[in-house]
Structure 1
Amino acid sequence: MKIFQFKQFAITQDKCAMKVGTDGVLLGAWVDIQDGIESVLDIGAGTGLLALQMAQRSGVDTIDAVELHNDAFEQCVENFEASEWSDRLFCYHASFQEFFQEIDETYDLLIANPPFFTEEVSSGNTPRDKARQERSLPFEHLLFGAAKLLSSKGSFAVIIPFSEEGHFLELAKHVQLFPNRITRVRGNKKVPVKRSLLQLSRNQNEIEIKELVIEKERHVYTQEYINLTKDFYLKM
């Protein structure tokens, strides 16, 4: 059984196509959890990592998740039930498209590490390829649903390829969602920016734009990255 042990919870991931990775941990550590929020939704939960990070970082009573794939849904529920916050965590078994069409409630924080490979990908692992391809949850659907489910005071946090940042923000504008925070992520100083961390809301505020470098050299992490993730990783 494949278990990823964090400081305050463990992730069992043998049934999940997409395993614990830097993107998810980074997003869960980076997102600004504003005072007074009462509900969180993890979109496309997979192992449940983001919802568990939100439970560790906040006292929010309602932390929901939605996951389509059977095995991932079952694994997410197992991980929720094994945590100390099981009474605050709940996973719906549905596609996000089904979910946002049927649910009337709104959430103060939406968070997603979405599939984003827009090109055809083939690793020989069909479930993993489907989980990684943007067509299973197109950005248009993700943003339309986010706009429908977001409370008036809420925000939506996501991690996407840097190459898709402009396109994603243009689509967001069409549903009246605007970036408030952008952090662009490099593996090290010598490589191009790879990811964009975005937090959007209905408010057109001045945008806080930063850059994060993960490593100084191979397996030697920057202090900024250590500070961001130390509450989660055992070795930080």
Structure 2
Amino acid sequence: MSSKPFKFKQFEIHQDRCAMKIGTDGVLLGAWVDLLEDTDSILDVGTGTGVIALMMAQRSSAQLIDAIEIDENAYEQAVENFEHSDWGDRLFCYHAEFGEFVEEMQDEEKYDLIISNPPFYNSDYKTASEARDMARFQDALPFQLLLEGATYLLSEKGRLAVIIPKSQEQDFLELAGDFNLFPKKITYVKGTHTSEIKRCLILLGLEPIEVLKDELTIEHERHQYTPTYQKLVAPFYLKM
């Protein structure tokens, strides 16, 4: 397996020990989420390589950017990626399961933004890799645990941002409503103009408001990216 790092414009990611590699979903979420000027604290749940937390450091002046990772190898690699970046003093990774983290931190820390590219395949299908399964399946971080935990960790102005499959949007939003988390913005993501919507980028808040909905198409055709997508990820990808 190649040990060459994945190079972005302002940082690089070593990922040879991570079950889940750099992918469109994580980068899209990190580029898409609205970062308000008064966002002082951010939590990346299930950080993997650390890419979303690093994107948050590049995009914001938040002095506290925490990350959680349950897999030991990915955790160690995320720590190294943080330390080798320009923002190591603002980034910290915990090796923990999210439920445990919530129990320990709910009275200690509140976050203005919680962001997660959660595992969203159910347990009906497993691979031979336990680490990869943990990174990709809901067993390790069910939506209910993510949503409930967020209610304990969000500040009064706090928001939760996720990317999930379109097929799970309704169930996710209904569950979010059970925890008094309400959609503020939803972007539906299509691979091409003629393909079906595959992903939903969702931003939740603590107050019910009118939801802003739009669509994002990634490509006109293979490797021919739309101007909207290019503008979104241009601050990060080298070839954009």
Query: Taking structure 1 as the reference length, what is the TM-score of the superposition?
Result: 0.98
Deviation beyond 6 Å, 4+ runs, structure 1: none
Q: Indicate whether 1:107 and 2:142 are aligned.
A: no
Asked whether 1:198 is paired with 2:165, we answer no
Q: Of residues 140, 145, 149 in structure 2, which corresponds to 1:136? A: 140
Identity of aligned residues (%): 56
Contact 1:120 1:133 in 2 (8 A): no
- In structure 2, the residue matched to 1:20 is 22
> Hey, what does 2:37 align to over in structure 1?
35
Q: Distance in 2 between matches of 1:124 and 1:68?
A: 19
Unaligned runs of 5+ in 2: none
Match of 2:81 in 1: 79
Question: How far 1:15 moved relative to its partner?
Answer: 0.5
1:33-66, Cα deviation, whole Å (9 max, x unpaired): 1121110000011111110000000111000001
Q: Identify unmatched segments of 5+ residues in structure 1.
A: none
Within a 5 Å distance, the mapping from 1:1-236 to structure 2 comes to: 1-103=3-105, 104=107, 105-236=109-240
Shift of 1:227: 0.4
Cα deviations across residues 204-231 of structure 1 (Å, max 9, x unaligned)? 1111100000000011100000000000
Write the distance in 2 (CA, Å) between the matches of 1:154 and 1:34. Answer: 11
Separation in 2 of the partners of 1:72 and 1:141? 21
**Equivalent position SS for 1:35:** coil
**Deviation of 1:119 (Å):** 4.2
How far off is 1:131 after superposition?
1.1
Provide, for residues 46-90 of structure 1, a one-character-per-residue CA deviation record: whole Å limited to 9, x for no partner: 111110000000111000001111101100000000000000000
Measure the CA separation in 1 of the matches of 2:195 and 2:189: 10
Distance in 1 between the 2:194 and 2:123 partners?
A: 26
Describe the superposition over 1:147-197 as per-residue Cα deviations: whole angstroms up to 9, x where unpaired: 110111011100000100010000000111000000000000111100000
**Which letter maps to 1:137?**
L
CA distance in 1, matches of 2:143, 2:126: 21
- Helix, strand or coil for the counterpart of 1:194? strand
Equivalent-residue separation in structure 2 for 1:18 and 1:196 (angstroms): 20
C-alpha distance in 1 between matches for 2:4 and 2:132: 16
For 1:192, the aligned partner's letter is E
**Alignment partners' CA distance in 1, 2:9 and 2:58:** 10
Is contact 1:181-1:209 (8 Å) kept?
yes
- Tell me the distance in 1 between the aligned counterparts of 2:138 and 2:124: 9
Name which of structure 1's ranges 179-188 and 117-126 shifts more when overlaid on structure 2: 117-126
